[in-house]
């Protein structure tokens, strides 16, 4: 992953910062909408009948899209390695794959939910359970990728500061 010179929050213009905040807010709203659509289909499961569960799905979906889609990039000279994935590339690649797969899964479940709502089709409890579980797995993948990327960015910054002060 390569960090762009203008990618630092401190070097961005006010207009660029505003655009970034609008983009992240839009992504969060999109994730919330996905959670709402999946919750609507999930009404056929006894657990998702309450407003609290629907609200939790909306918040979880918003968190997944907010954290998982716009990942911070670490400097090119900082290599993230996880011993389990050495043969498959560095962990930055795995984080990108994790967020991409999570985004894909949540999007597919949202499209499936919206199409069933618009077409007026009722899904059975088993199908609704599969849709909701798939959505939850995808949103969790996005959140995990966002957290991992931010932890690794923090490590990169810490390593850079240590290297700077050790000179």
Tell me the per-residue pLDDT of 66-90, one tens digit each, with 9 for 90 and over.
888 777 766 555 554 444 444 445 6
For the chain, the domains span 31-165
Tell me the per-residue pLDDT of 99-112, one tens digit each, with 9 for 90 and over.
999 999 999 999 99
Q: What is the pTM of this model?
A: 0.75
Closest CA to 98 of 35, 154, 143, 152: 143
- Whole-number percent of the chain with pLDDT over 70: 80
Query: How far apart, in Å, do the first and last CA atoms of the chain sit?
Result: 26
């Amino acid at each position: 992953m390569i960090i762009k010179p203008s990618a630092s929050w401190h070097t961005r213009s006010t207009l660029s910062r505003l655009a970034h905040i609008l983009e992240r807010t839009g992504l969060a709203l999109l994730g919330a909408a996905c959670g709402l659509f999946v919750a609507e289909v999930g009404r056929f499961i006894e657990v998702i009948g309450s407003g609290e569960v629907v609200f939790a799905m909306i918040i979880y979906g918003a968190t997944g899209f907010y954290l998982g889609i716009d990942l911070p990039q670490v400097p090119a000279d900082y290599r993230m390695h996880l011993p389990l994935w050495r043969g498959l590339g560095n962990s930055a690649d795995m984080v990108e794959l994790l967020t991409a797969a999570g985004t894909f899964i949540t999007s597919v479940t949202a499209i499936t939910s919206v199409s069933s709502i618009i077409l007026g089709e009722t899904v059975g409890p088993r199908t609704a359970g599969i849709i909701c579980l798939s959505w939850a797995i995808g949103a969790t993948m996005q959140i995990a990728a966002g957290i991992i990327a931010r932890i690794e960015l923090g490590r990169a910054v810490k390593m850079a500061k240590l290297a700077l002060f050790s000179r």
